[in-house]
Amino acid sequence: MILFASGRRIFSGLTVWRSLQKITSAPNSTTKTQLLFQSQASSVLMPPRPSSSNSLLSIRPVSWHPSRLCHGDSQGTTEGGQSKEGFSLSALAQAPKPALYLGFSGLIPFLSAPVLMAATQSFYPEIAFAQVVYGAAIVSFLGGARWGFALPAGSPAQPDWMNLGNSVVPSLLAWLALLCRDNITEGALVVIMGLGLSLHYDLTLLPGYPSWFKAMRTVLTLVATFSLAATLVIKNFCSEKKLKELQN
């Protein structure tokens, strides 16, 4: 007799033994008898199924979707739920023609100053200061563009203290550069600082600009910065002359 700890009788060993004797003594028995023996033997050999209480204690593997392991989607989101769109230089092909032409034509005052002084191998303070003044105007324009972008209803850049406050900083740097009339080096460095700070705001801190504009801003800022740096190099290595001498 097979017994469990609870004292309940599960199956009788004598009955199983007699069934084995009948089947072995009658090799020509029917298929039903074989099936009956197989079912009885399987009921003895197979363990009982766990009860509903045991199934609650069973450990089930937890599956995680791979996307949940990432911090964001392919475009990325900011803390406020706003999209942060990535960009590359290939996005310039998507730029509107007026913005592309006007943007790159705005580099002419930046590039013409060092090219003219390099051609004459002389440093002209008037031309260098005119370049600094134009750079200060561009820096102030970039701050105003951010201010105007945050004002319309539904804009991804909200008119909060961060967006509007950072928009005022480039204008203050531009005003400071204009005060350095007697020192072209300091004025050019302040303009370079304003250009770099404005680009940093537009690419990392403040959301909203399309990818083609970010790519164009990067190229224009780099070219303008190198042109101002070229003017400072010419100032240190070329002799200083007045603009009146060039006219004569």
Residue 146 CA to residue 166 CA, distance in Å, equals 8
Q: Where are the domains of the chain?
A: 2-44, 89-247
Residue 235 CA to residue 187 CA, distance in Å, equals 13
Which residues touch 195 (CB under 8 Å, ≥6 apart)? 135, 138, 139, 142, 221, 224, 225
Residue 245 CA to residue 232 CA, distance in Å, equals 21
Rounded average pLDDT over 209-227: 93
pLDDT in tens, 182-195: 899 999 999 999 99
pLDDT of residue 115: 96
How many whole angstroms from its chain centre is CA 190? 29
Encode 42-57: b = buried (16+ Cβ within 10 Å), e = exposed.
eeeeeeeeeeeeeeee
Q: Is the pLDDT of residue 46 over 80?
A: no
User: CA of 55: how far to CAs of 10, 11, 45, 105, in Å?
Assistant: 22, 25, 21, 74
Q: Is the pLDDT of residue 4 over 50?
A: no
Contact 196, 222 (CB under 8 A): no
Please state the length of the chain.
248
Residue 136 CA to residue 179 CA, distance in Å, equals 11
pLDDT in tens, 96-135: 999 999 999 999 999 999 999 999 999 999 999 999 999 9
Contact 207, 78 (CB under 8 A): yes
Maximum Cα–Cα distance for the chain, whole Å? 133
Q: How confident is the model at residue 18 (pLDDT cuts 50, 70, 90)?
A: low
Q: Is the pLDDT of residue 77 over 70?
A: no
pLDDT of residue 21: 52
pLDDT of residue 86: 57
Backbone angles phi, psi at 60, to 5 degrees: -110, 135
